[in-house]
Structure 1
Amino acid sequence: MGEGSFWVSRPWPFSFNNRSNARSSFIWSPFFIKIITGTLSYSGIPNLESLKQLEPIPQWVYAMDNITHSFIVSFAVIGIVYALKPKLTWPLLAWPFHILLDFPFHTKEFFPVQLFWPLTSLSVDGISWSHPAVWYPNVAGIIMLFIFRYKKNLFNKL
């Protein structure tokens, strides 16, 4: 078997890594394929207008958003779970915590968070995630988190 058939016989993303790193190369392969084929497009940060192009958004999406972003629903579910399996309650508190962190970053124009649905349709007109004052610190925080986790893993291997 010649060198050419070696490259053809293996998926190319795996060719650049050893077997222990094959999983990560598989995850990155769509990104590299898009770079090579020229289909990777970057049009800047996502904004409200680019998301509105996805319309018409089905009504069930709005219904699910109301259900999953309501303190009433989240605490009702947590109460039911507490009655059945109290040990599972602590992780479920991430749900109302998510709502608490999420509602300031939704505008009334696009997916307003109805905090006390189905009792009221009260929502807050917040700052969009695509606003630079929110977007760049969010991305910077995610990058710092990955760097921290990467360095922590390197330290643990020593």
Structure 2
Amino acid sequence: MMENIRIKLFFCPEITRLETVADWKAAVHEALFPLESHGLVSEEYEKAIIQRIEQLGSYCVLKPGLALVHGPIAPDAKQAGIHILVVEKPVYFPASSKPVFLFIGVCAPTAASYMRLIKKMAPLLHEIRSAESFVERSNQDILEYFAQLGEFV
């Protein structure tokens, strides 16, 4: 049963844009670091996601160009959060031939809030025809696109 408590969604106001990153682990770090620096999650959340990718493979790559950087529920998370990372040169995850340019780091404090966040994000992520096009889009355009998620999950 889903909890009926609405949780405020923290949307990092700054989009991180990088020309390149060393590897997929660096991309995961860059996608999650603002959530850490804003106090939403601890460094342990990032470590858990990296470990999960090493064990399960590139589960976070949803389609060519797009990775939803998420993992186990972050029990220390104070609220649900999202951060956008755009990388100009493609990043490849283990055992995946799909290049990734757009990384969406997410966290949520409970399973119910996590599921509501993913449910709200699904239509937006489905509409993205070319994640690579986000490299060319302005930060304002990207923020407006994801602002459709609203304030609460």
The interval holding the TM-score normalised by the smaller chain is under 0.3
If each structure's strand is expressed as a fraction of its own residues, which one has the higher value? 2
TM-score between both structures, scaled by the size of structure 1 = 0.26
If each structure's helix is expressed as a fraction of its own residues, which one has the higher value? 1
TM-score between both structures, scaled by the size of structure 2 = 0.26
